[in-house]
Amino acid sequence: MEKMGQSMKSTQPGPPHMGRLHDRVNLAGSSTA
């Protein structure tokens, strides 16, 4: 349980969702471009 909580907290400080979304957008843009 402690490990899970740490993992979640680790992702909270840094925006993993935003980063992943940006990566996808960048990849999509590059593909279309």
Q: Please, which pLDDT band fits residue 2 given cuts at 50, 70 and 90?
A: low
Identify the band that residue 6 occupies on the pLDDT scale cut at 50, 70 and 90: low
pTM of the model: 0.18
Rounded-to-integer distance, Cα 32 and Cα 8, Å: 34
Helix (H) or strand (E) holding 11, with range, is helix 2-11
pLDDT digit string (tens) for 18-30? 556 666 666 666 6
